[in-house]
Structure 1
Amino acid sequence: MRIFLILLIMSSANFFAQKTLTPDNVKIESKYIKDETSNSIWYIENGTHKKEIGKITTEVKKVDKTTLLIKTSVKMNMSPDIPWVDSTLVKISDFQPVYHSSYNSARDMQLKFGKNKVTGYYLDKKTQKKDNINESVSTEYFDSNSYPGLLRFLPLKEHYSTEMPIFDYNPAAKKGVVKAYIEDVNKGELNGRKVWIVKTTDDIQDRKTIVTYYLDTSTREVLKQEIDSNGRKMVMESVK
């Protein structure tokens, strides 16, 4: 009887466990993918006080029948003339990464993604040190810049959780494939609209940063993001 119970518990755990999500097995709800431009305000919160620190514009565009562009431009209030611009190309069918570029006042970076290799460069503008990137990869993966966009197009359900390999390059932190995690998904309401509340984290910051997304259930529009990191809280709120 005891052995039967142990086997039952083990089989139940396996039944409810989520597979690791990769481009090889991901299911994309493509009906939500369309050309769009959205804007949001970036705030930092301190108790009940909220201070605007920047503005964000996100563009999603089908480049052709197979490729999707996700482009984010950030203008910080302290330096509005020097935007941060990140552009990512992925395959529409499975979000397999193709290309990623990132330009800001601190560094420039370009990555070209292959099945088993990532190439490109990373330029630190302060030191003028340029790293040539040539990283071997032995697993399927997403780009660390595109997986937040992927969340919008997954077949979400309550209490869904999974992990996914992502490629990230940061000489001051981690290089190569690490993991991102969807920790929980719940239904909720925000300003009278029904939303999916998606809680995520990743290994880039050793799971110390929690990002929560509020996605409109009917359009998958990102209405709000909350970032909690080491006692510091930031919020991005969608504006028309």
Structure 2
Amino acid sequence: MGCPIHIVVNKGAGSTLLTKPMRMKSIVEVASGTADKPITVQVRTGYFEGKHRIDYLITEIGSWGASAITIHGRSSQQRYSKLADWDCIYQCARKAPNTLQVVGNGDVFSFVDWNNHKAECPELASCMIAPGALIKRHWDISSGERLNLLKDFVHFGLEHSGSDTKGVETTRRFLLEWLSDTCRYIPVGLLDVIPQRLNWRPPSYYSRDDLETLMASDSAADWLS
């Protein structure tokens, strides 16, 4: 119930469900009453900025049958224009019944962020690492180390999918999807300000070697070379 993509919310699904709490209730109650596994819910702080906020529903969600809830600290309307609202997440964690674990999400790029949030709010069950950690990490990794990670990825992919034509194509597809994120990584050693923020645009920089330059390319033709 956290997806903000228009094709999803226009059908009444994803984060727009926050505007329809009775439908949310029906979904969670039916799912928890049918499945033999614990049901978890993922939401944003709200759909519109300042309206239909999750902190007004958090005590009820626990009674609907959910075992845990992950809260992304942004509204659907906001997208990534501002930093995550962790005050709202903390408030939900403190208000939630003991039967409902609350997991915080938003702008968690490293173990430092994770530890800080857990220290600030012990009531949090845990924190989710943001996908942005792939490109906003605080680890200054060399081009050679990055290449070794790609080699490991390919090795594990072929081991799992097989080394026949279909296995190679499957591994290549997932590798290219991963590279579409990792090519945006800015080497930490070249940054003036650390840590980075999710909504900061990366600065222009000169790579430290040719391999690092190649890995910064957003062209799939360069990745396949």
> Greater helix percent: which structure?
2
- TM-score normalised to structure 1 length: 0.27
Which is greater in Rg? Answer: 2
> Greater strand percent: which structure?
1
- TM-score normalised to structure 2 length: 0.29
